[in-house]
């Protein structure tokens, strides 16, 4: 099994969500069957939204340095549970000699498998501004709907609000996208699944974090677990 390096902290709670989902999805019968995971959870990475607005530092150098540190610590493949930061995925990949598992590619593959032709993007401003999903979905012949302003709700989650009011606000955004013709809603910000799941809305949901977990396991589980 490959050692996984996680570029985290964007935000910290979303990184923990990814790690919990990775643990739960790993087909392990004992401690030794789990992946070795090295995580650098650094919330000081420059803000992705500010960078893409043009009024903040680029996070690219910090992400490249984080990637190099993870590889130096033993990581054999890398993953980053932050959608917006994938705008700088090229700098990460260029900085290290190990594979980088793209969250964008993984989520778009999950959308394609769903058969949806029109996808609502519940995402941060930076992800939408960069066009990360719009371009990737269009390449698969899938239309993106991205007219909802999710930042107020996302910022509430980042501030620690995961209560009923925030859940209702996020569910309302998902329903608004469905009302604009989306077949499914892609939770394309890692804060969204912290307050939204299938029990909160009738709209079909796809979790980009869960899609990344699936892709990481496909890459990292190069050998089956041993006998009990």
Which residues span the domain enclosing 82?
4-102+212-220
173-211 confidence digits (pLDDT tens)? 999 999 999 999 999 999 999 999 999 999 999 999 999
Q: 91 with 120, same domain?
A: no
| CATH number where 195 lies | 3.40.50.1860
Q: 118 with 204, same domain?
A: yes
Q: 196 with 117, same domain?
A: yes
Is 227 inside a domain boundary? Answer: no
Q: Give the mean pLDDT of the chain.
A: 95
% of the chain residues with pLDDT over 90? 96
pLDDT at residue 226 in the model: 44
Is 228 inside a domain boundary? Answer: no
Q: 147 with 177, same domain?
A: yes
**Does the annotation mark 166 as catalytic?**
no
Selected catalytic residue, list 20, 77, 82, 166: 82
Q: Are 37 and 19 in contact (CB under 8 A)?
A: yes
pLDDT at residue 147 in the model: 86
**Does the annotation mark 189 as catalytic?**
yes
Q: 41 with 18, same domain?
A: yes
Q: 95 with 117, same domain?
A: no
């Amino acid at each position: 099994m490959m050692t996984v390096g996680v570029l985290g902290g964007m935000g910290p709670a979303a990184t923990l969500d990814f790690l919990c989902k990775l643990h739960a999805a790993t087909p392990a019968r004992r401690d030794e069957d789990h992946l070795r995971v090295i995580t650098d959870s650094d919330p000081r990475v420059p803000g992705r939204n500010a960078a893409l607005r043009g009024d903040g530092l680029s996070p690219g150098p910090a992400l490249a340095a984080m990637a190099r540190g993870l590889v130096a610590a033993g990581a054999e493949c890398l993953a980053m549970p932050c959608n917006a930061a994938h705008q700088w995925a090229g700098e990460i990949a260029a900085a290290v000699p190990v594979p980088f598992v793209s969250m964008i590619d993984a989520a778009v593959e999950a959308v394609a498998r769903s058969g949806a032709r029109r996808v609502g993007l519940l995402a941060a401003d930076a992800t939408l501004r960069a066009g990360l999903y719009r371009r990737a979905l269009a390449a698969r012949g899938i239309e993106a709907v991205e007219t909802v302003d999710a930042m107020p709700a996302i910022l509430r989650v980042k501030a620690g609000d995961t209560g009923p009011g925030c859940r209702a606000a996020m569910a309302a955004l998902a329903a608004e996208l469905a009302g604009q013709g989306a077949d499914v809603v892609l939770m394309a910000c890692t804060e969204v699944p912290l307050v939204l799941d299938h029990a909160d809305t009738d709209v079909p949901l796809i979790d980009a974090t869960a899609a990344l977990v699936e892709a990481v396991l496909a890459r990292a589980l190069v050998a089956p677990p041993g006998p009990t």
